[in-house]
Amino acid sequence: MAMGEKIRELREELGMSQAQLSVQGGLSQGYLSQLENEEVQNPSAAVIFGLAKALHVDPRVLMQAAGYEEAGTADSAGDGYEVLVDPDLLQFLARFPREQQADILRFMQAIERRKPVVGAGQTN
């Protein structure tokens, strides 16, 4: 599978628009469109790593699709890489603008830091 096709597939699995991925990946929407349409043949490592981070995949997956064979063999690219976040949660969060995602993150961090309160009928 070509890199552009792989990017589109992963983006659609996450329910992301090109605009959302371009912002999270740190590139213009026009450039992302060119990548997905195979109009760019040799994207830089920075572009590949930025997209991989935004798509929550091992960068070797995109490097392999871009033709960088030294990234790993076709059989091993991405093997052993585990996404620790539920894909449904990623899809849900991807629908929010970045600023709201930051608010959600702060809220979740506050919940994580909060210690359970022992109330009536509860024991430690």
Give the model confidence (pLDDT) of 42-80 as tens digits: 888 889 999 999 999 888 889 888 887 665 544 444 445
Q: Check pLDDT > 60 for residue 9.
A: yes
Question: Rounded to two decimals, what is the model's pTM?
Answer: 0.60
CA atoms within a 13 Å half-sphere pointing along the CA-CB vector of 45? 4
Give Cα separations from 75 to 13, 59, 72, 78 (angstroms): 22, 15, 8, 9
CA distance 15 to 96: 11
Q: Tell me the CA end-to-end span of the chain in Å, nearest whole number.
A: 54
